[in-house]
Amino acid sequence: QVQLVESGGGLVQAGGSLRLSCAASGRTFSRYSMAWFRQAPGKEREFVAGINWSSNSYHAQSVKGRFTISRDNAKNMVYLQMNSLKPEDTAVYYCAARLGSVKTMDSMYEYWGQGTQVTVSS
């Protein structure tokens, strides 16, 4: 069982930065692939970035070069550094975990956090 708690969301102007954090419970955190998804109002939840147990990372094309996912297995933490934010990045951001490799489909993830709101003003 893994419990996930996100933090770090907020209101930021376009061009600004935020760092999201996801704290995970459980002694076997390092075995899990972790991912960030986001859901904007009226839209489906979409994959943002994922990282596997050995810190190989994957980023959606829409955020590549602006966002960076990372993890600290010693602290059971996952991070999403978001730079050059755009109004279209406004969404609720969710942290997710699964055993096995990174997947881009949200249905493949077993554990989810409650989400944190990110709002980017123009």
What DSSP line would sit under 53-107, residue for residue?
A: TT--EEE-TTTTTTEEEEEETTTTEEEEEE-S--GGG-EEEEEEEEESS--S-GG
pLDDT of residue 1: 83
The series of mean pLDDT values per 10 residues for the chain, 122 residues long, is 95 98 89 97 97 96 98 95 98 97 97 97 95
Fill in the amino acid letter for 102: V
pLDDT of residue 29: 86
Tokens of 110: 């077993």
Q: Give bridge partners of residue 112 from the DSSP assignment.
A: 96
